Structure 1
Amino acid sequence: MARHARKQAAPTKPLLKRPVRIGNLSPAAIVRELRKLHENAEDENISRMPADDELFQALIYLETHAGALKEERARRTAAVQRVKLWEYLREQADLHQAKAIEHARAAGAEWADLVPALAVNTPSAAYNKAKRMQAAAFTDASSGDWPIRRTPEAVREAELAAQARALAERRAEQEAARRHALLAPVAQRLIDHRAGLDDEGDVTFWLDQIAAVLPSCRTPTQLVSLETYVEAVVRELKKAERTSGRSAVSTTDGQLAYQAAAAVVV
């Protein structure tokens, strides 16, 4: 009976299974533990072992002098830890090589210039290999999203999505800056002329909130808070006017500040 051919997944389709990764660890701490094993085994060459933070050279030393560990348990522990550290290096390599390629390209390097450095035969192969490496970088920065496939198509799609997110963030920051330029002077006028406002009860509370947040209002979140407080002042002043049947403002400067705030938050 003929077997059905397995359907190939689309090159940009997200992976269905999250790959297992070593992830974050302290390689220097592990190397330090392995150094201790060799010291306990009285490795006569231990003084030549590289520093704990020189991971690659330390691994080479530990591999070369593995025979210095006489106890089977120590040899097994050291070997397993070396496997882990090599896997950690493998995971880091794509991330850092992708960054090096990005810097080379930014410095004007052509794909042909990267052919020998990437151990490929053609510029197109260099491009494809670089894109596959970038998949690891996007996976690392995904903050919980499913990893993308290691294909040029998937990486390009991820690049476009990242560009769209960056553009949206820049627009949000620009809008926040625009709103801050409009709102901050109005909020400051309310504080400067609060003596002319119906500064009692809830009005007092919201003016105090404005006074607290205004000096450090920089982020979009802080701006939202400031806008909320200004809206609350306007709302409470209007409520006071409806309740009392008279103006909630007793000075000309206070009236102008109140009107400016009402115009901004409408």
Structure 2
Amino acid sequence: MARPSRKSAAPTKPLLNPPARIGSLDTAAVVCELRQLHEDAEDENIGKMPADDELFGALLYLEANAGALKREEARRTAAIARVKLWEYLREQTDIHQAKAIEHARAAGAAWADLVPPLAVNMPSAAYNKAKRLQAAVLTEASHDKRPVRRTPEAVREAERQAAARAAAERRAEEEAARRHTLLAPVAQRLLEHRAGLDDDAEVTFWLDQIAAVLPDCRTPTQLVSLGTYVEAVVRELRKSRPTAARPTASTAEAQLAYAAAAAYVTGS
């Protein structure tokens, strides 16, 4: 009886069993440990070993001089560390080659121009290989580091999702910038009309905080603090005047200043 054929996974389907990756690695620290092994073994060529941050050159040196390690345990430890470093380098190669392709395309290179560098036979193959490499970039850039399936369809879907996230982040940044633009005038109006608001110790405290930070309010941290102080003023005014029978402000101008601050706080 013929066995039923297994259905292929959809090309955009997320990987159920994502491949293990080295991920983040302090390669200089690992190379430094390997250097110490060679120094302890009195490797006579150790002075020729490249610097700890020159990973590729250091790996070539360690490979060529592996025999300098006399103890079997040291040779085993060093070889395993080299395997890990090469695997890390392989992961990074995909990411940086994909970025080089992106830069080449941005500079006007056609897919046909990338056929020889990518060691493929036709432009369509160069395109598909570039998309597979882009999967590594998208995985690295994702929030959860979830691997992207190495198919053109999956990469296009991941790119669409990344573009949507970037657009949402831009909208959020634009909204934050808009609110920050409104914040200083709102805070200034509260100070200008504080006499019509300021008859409560807590309100006085938060208005004093606004007065202290507003003149030099430029950095994101200062803007966040200023927003917090404005929110606190609105909160305390609402607490101290809980009913319509007790107006929030004693003057029309102060009432308008409070209304503007309350509208800012509620985002309306």
What TM-score bracket applies, with the shorter chain setting the length?
Answer: 0.7 to 0.9
* 1:228 aligned to which of 228, 231, 237: 231
Aligned residue number for residue 91 of structure 2 = 91
Matches within 5 A, 1:130-141: 130-141=130-141
> How many equivalent residue pairs?
262
Q: 1:146 to 1:256 in 2, by over 3 A?
A: closer
Contact 1:50 1:58 (C-alpha < 8 Å) held by counterparts: yes
Contact 1:198 1:237 (C-alpha < 8 Å) held by counterparts: no
The CA distance in 1 between the partners of 2:17 and 2:211, in whole Å, is 51
- Post-superposition shift, 1:174? 1.8
- Post-superposition shift, 1:218? 4.2
TM-score with structure 1 setting the length: 0.85
| 2:195 partner amino acid | A
1:189 matches 2:203: no
Aligned residue number for residue 121 of structure 1 = 121
Q: 1:217 to 1:27 in 2, by over 3 A?
A: closer
- Post-superposition shift, 1:164? 0.9
Aligned residue number for residue 167 of structure 2 = 167
Aligned residue number for residue 75 of structure 1 = 75
- Post-superposition shift, 1:192? 2.7
Aligned residue number for residue 151 of structure 1 = 151
Aligned residue number for residue 44 of structure 1 = 44
| 2:231 partner amino acid | T
Aligned residue number for residue 66 of structure 1 = 66
Superposed CA deviations along residues 181-231 of structure 1, whole A, max 9, x for unmatched, are 334312211023212324304433553565567535748x93874663464
Please provide the CA RMSD for this pair: 2.8
Aligned residue number for residue 13 of structure 2 = 13
Superposed CA deviations along residues 239-261 of structure 1, whole A, max 9, x for unmatched, are 37624xxx553456434423544
Aligned residue number for residue 177 of structure 2 = 177
- Post-superposition shift, 1:69? 1.8
- Post-superposition shift, 1:177? 2.4
Q: 1:160 to 1:230 in 2, by over 3 A?
A: farther
| 1:239 partner amino acid | P
For structure 2, the 5+ residue unaligned runs are none
Superposed CA deviations along residues 73-115 of structure 1, whole A, max 9, x for unmatched, are 1111111111111111011111111111111111111111111
* 1:239 aligned to which of 230, 237, 242: 242
The CA distance in 1 between the partners of 2:90 and 2:263, in whole Å, is 59
Superposed CA deviations along residues 120-139 of structure 1, whole A, max 9, x for unmatched, are 11111111111111111111
Contact 1:217 1:226 (C-alpha < 8 Å) held by counterparts: no
Q: 1:240 to 1:197 in 2, by over 3 A?
A: farther
For structure 1, the 5+ residue unaligned runs are none
| 1:82 partner amino acid | R
Q: 1:191 to 1:162 in 2, by over 3 A?
A: same
- Post-superposition shift, 1:56? 0.9
SS in 1 for 2:52: coil
TM-score with structure 2 setting the length: 0.85
Aligned residue number for residue 102 of structure 1 = 102
After superposing the two structures, state which structure 1 stretch, 253-262 or 139-148, moved more.
253-262
Contact 1:38 1:46 (C-alpha < 8 Å) held by counterparts: yes
